[in-house]
Amino acid sequence: MRIWLTDAISAPQRPFVAILGGAKVSDKIMVIKNLLGICDKVLIGGAMAYTFSLANGGKVGGSLVEPDKVELAKELMASGGDKLVLPEDVHCGDAFSSDCNKQVVPSGQIPDGFEGLDIGPETAKKYAEIIASAKTVVWNGPMGVSEMPPFDFGTKTVAQAVADSGAVSIIGGGDSAAAIQKLGFADKVSHVSTGGGASLEMLEGKKFVAVELLDEA
């Protein structure tokens, strides 16, 4: 995995698209900063998107957010420009349950009593279109609550797009890897790793001695 990821990041075929999901901006600050410097597009999903939405002055209802990371999110949006792609719509529910009351709303317009649980269908479509033109894709983190239908739609759509893209594709992280495996796409991507922590460190730009030794051999 380390050599695959090193090659993909150091000499990517372009367009180079990164897909980042998961719960917290704080978990992936350095990843986002590093990838904004080397990627053509960085697609944001998962609960971390709601902190960016809050930073944009949006309403996030009861969504999982990190209020203390709002200023950081603003800085990332300012530095990322159009490279940083945020959700346009959100699939939300009034409870963390597959049988809750659901609605799709524009990003930043989640009503009180509801929480964002997945990217919306327009965002999923847009992300799939961006991925379709990519030559290199790195994906870490689900787009929503990937283990709970129907809030797995965004993750499934992204997984399908990555599998169909023909790009050099590296999937890192337990939830992303699980989605690829579950959907039967493992043989359609270049590499799947369950080593989420190791892949995140590589995406942050850190190097491993083992990789350096292999590269110098």
For residue 202, give its domain range: 2-48+70-87+118-216
User: For the domain that residue 83 is a member of, what is the CATH number?
Assistant: 3.40.50.1260
Per-residue model confidence (pLDDT) at position 200 = 62
**Whether 43 contacts 87, CB under 8 Å:** no
Q: Is the pLDDT of residue 36 over 80?
A: yes
What domain count does the chain have? 1
pTM: 0.88
Residue 56 belongs to a domain: no
Q: Is 183 helix (H, G, I), strand (E, B) or coil?
A: coil
| Inside any domain, residue 199 | yes
CA distance 211 to 12: 17
Rg (CA), the chain: 17
d(CA 53, CA 63): 10
Percent of the chain with pLDDT over 90: 63
- Give the model's pLDDT for residue 210: 41
What's the confidence (pLDDT) of residue 4?
58
pLDDT band at 28 (very low <50, low <70, confident <90, very high): confident
Task: Flag whether pLDDT at 14 surpasses 50.
Answer: yes
Beta strands across the sheet bearing 102-106: 102-106, 89-93, 115-119
Is position 193 within any domain? yes
Per-residue pLDDT reduced to its tens digit, 54-99: 999 999 999 999 999 999 999 999 999 999 999 999 999 999 999 9
Q: What is the mean pLDDT of residues 147-154?
A: 94
Do the domain assignments include residue 104? no
* pLDDT exceeds cutoff 80 at 155: yes
pLDDT at 121: 98
Using DSSP bridges, classify how beta strands 89-93 and 102-106 pair: parallel, antiparallel or unpaired: antiparallel
61 lies in some domain: no
Per 3-state DSSP, the chain is made up of helix, strand and coil in percentages (nearest 5) of 45, 20, 35
In-domain check, residue 95: no
- Residue 149 confidence (pLDDT) above 90: yes
Report H helices in the chain: 2-10, 29-38, 48-55, 70-80, 121-132, 153-165, 174-182, 196-203, 209-216
Residue 53 lies in a domain: no
Asked whether residue 105 is domain-assigned, the answer is: no
Q: What is the pLDDT of residue 197?
A: 58
